Amino acid sequence: MSQQPAPSPELTHRTVPSPAGRIHLVEQGTGPLVLLLHGFPESWYSWRHQLPVLAAAGFRAAAIDVRGYGRSSRPGDVAAYRMRELVEDNAAVVHALGERSAVVIGHDWGATIAANSALIRPDVFRAVGLLSVPYTPRGGPRPSEVFAGMGGGEEFYVSRFQEPGRAEAEIEPDVRGWLAGFYAAFSADTMPAPDAPDPHFAGPGATLRERFPGRRPGWLGEAELDFYAGEFERTGMSGALNRYRNMDRDWEDLADFDGAPVTQPSLFLGGSLDASTTWLADAVAAYPTTLPGLVSSHILDGCGHWIQQERPEEVNPILTDWLASLPV
């Protein structure tokens, strides 16, 4: 296995106190604070292409390891990964960095956490950027009921992740191989053809991995895969998977926010080939109601799910232009 890539000397690693215990973050630059939240199964490292660009544009960019990942605390209780807890982690990071407010930007699960951070703590988060996963207000039936009805006779990956230990048993014997396949399954240059079996689902008695491509996407070199695999080989997968295991708790916890819009200035970026974006096309269409502060919305043609890693040359100027447009 090749050595993990050395961080730029301009990057500063630190841990700060939070309700989780500690949150690890990597920051670069000075200026207005921008908090960057990763998704599953990633880490602060998924923002490696954005940190120096945001810093050069005059911002203090801080990419965290979300609770359960990397060097951040990993509580043993599954319920410790509910949305309200993650929102309070984010607010604690802002305050620990000596700031009163921040812009929050998230990808994948990080986008959902970012939107809820803006919704629940508007006193801290003055603007929100969402990558890949659109904002959908709380509402409708319990999420577990929705996911159980998907796929016909096949099992949706979110349902598969619900039982503690089950997904871990598939992933942890070969973390590196599973991650490589998962990243490839949802990258534009390696995802299965539209008429191939969908890797979001597993057939009866099968695993998700059986539908993963055998090729590696262009953005994922040896060094990148080594970094991600090294993190999850060290921590295990349970902390990351526990986010999925709180979706019904979130539905209960956020009842007071049923249908609530996020009103701060906002940005959305999605990929035209990303199911996380295309399946939620109705949510994007509802933005005039659900994101009334939307400043700009972009769908990158031919882009998959890992948007800021697949297409940083397009994502970075969109982010910096939007950030520059925000009142301080």
Q: List, by residue number, the catalytic residues.
A: 108, 305
CA 244 to chain centre: 12
d(CA 173, CA 166): 12
Q: Token pair for residue 262?
A: 């996020």
Residue 274 contacts residue 186 (beta carbons within 8 Å): yes
Residue 113 contacts residue 253 (beta carbons within 8 Å): no
Residue 304 contacts residue 188 (beta carbons within 8 Å): yes
Q: To 5 degrees, how large is the angle CA 213–CA 301–CA 54?
A: 95
Q: Token pair for residue 76?
A: 């043993």
Residue 181: beta bridge partners? Answer: none
Q: To 5 degrees, how large is the angle CA 199–CA 202–CA 206?
A: 125
d(CA 26, CA 34): 12
Measured in residues, the chain has a length of 328
Backbone angles phi, psi at 71, to 5 degrees: -95, 0
DSSP category for residue 249: H
Cis before 41? omega within 30 = yes
Q: Token pair for residue 226?
A: 């080594």
Residue the block writes with tokens 């006193």: 123
Residue 270 contacts residue 300 (beta carbons within 8 Å): yes
